[in-house]
C-alpha cells in the first residue's frame, strides 16, 4: 500500500520486494495511508461478524470448529474467519495485532471518514466495542479477544 510518484516507486521497487508481497502503488502521497485505513475498516466490521458467528454457534449447541469447516471456504470466508476464529475458539488471545493499535487505526479512520462526510456506522460500532474491550484490560491482547466482550454480555 504505497503512495507516491511512479518514478520513486519504480526506483524503490527492489527494496519493497524485500520487505513484502502484493506491492501496489495506490496513487500520490497519502494514498497508501488511505488504503491502509480501508483495510482496517474492513477488518473492524468483519471481526464483529466473526465474533457473533462463533458466539451464535456455541449458543446453538454447534461445534464451532465444524461450523468454521463449513463456512470459511464459502461467501463468508475471510482471513479473520480462517485465522482468528480458530484462535478465539481455543482461547488464544496472543496478539498478532494489538487491540490498542487497532483502536488507534480505527480512530484515525473514523476521523478521516468524518472529514470526508462519510457515514461509517460499522466502524463507529467496532471502535466503541474495542474501546470497551481495552477498558476491560485487553489493550495488549490480539484483536480476536473481542469474543471476550461478547461472552460477558
Report domain extents, the chain: 29-152
CA dist., res. 99 & res. 111, Å (int): 18
Is residue 119 over pLDDT 90? yes
From 108, 133, 95, 141, select the one nearest 38 (Cα to Cα). 108
CATH tag, 29-152: 1.10.1040.10
C-beta atoms surrounding 55 within 10 Å: 16
Q: Which residues carry out catalysis?
A: 36
| List of E strands, the chain | 2-3, 25-27
Mean of the per-residue pLDDT values of the chain? 97
Question: Given this model, what pLDDT does residue 153 score?
Answer: 84
pTM of the model: 0.92
CA 23 to chain centre: 19
What would the pLDDT profile of 58-112 be if each residue is shown by its tens digit? 999 999 999 999 999 999 999 999 999 999 999 999 999 999 999 999 999 999 9
Amino acid at each position: 500500500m504505497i503512495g507516491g510518484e511512479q518514478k520513486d516507486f519504480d526506483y524503490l521497487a527492489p527494496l519493497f520486494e524485500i520487505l513484502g508481497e502484493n506491492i501496489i502503488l495506490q496513487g500520490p502521497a497519502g494514498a497508501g495511508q488511505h488504503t491502509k485505513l480501508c483495510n482496517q475498516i474492513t477488518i473492524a466490521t468483519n471481526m464483529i461478524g466473526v465474533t457473533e458467528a462463533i458466539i451464535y454457534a456455541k449458543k446453538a449447541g454447534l461445534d464451532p470448529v465444524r461450523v468454521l469447516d463449513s463456512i470459511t471456504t464459502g461467501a463468508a470466508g475471510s482471513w479473520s474467519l480462517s485465522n482468528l476464529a480458530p484462535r478465539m475458539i481455543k482461547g488464544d488471545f496472543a496478539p498478532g495485532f494489538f487491540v490498542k493499535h487497532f483502536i488507534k487505526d480505527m480512530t484515525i479512520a473514523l476521523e478521516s471518514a468524518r472529514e470526508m462526510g462519510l457515514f461509517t456506522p460499522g466502524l463507529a460500532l467496532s471502535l466503541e466495542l474495542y474501546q470497551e474491550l481495552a477498558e476491560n484490560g485487553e489493550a495488549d491482547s490480539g484483536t480476536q479477544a473481542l469474543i471476550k466482550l461478547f461472552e460477558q454480555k
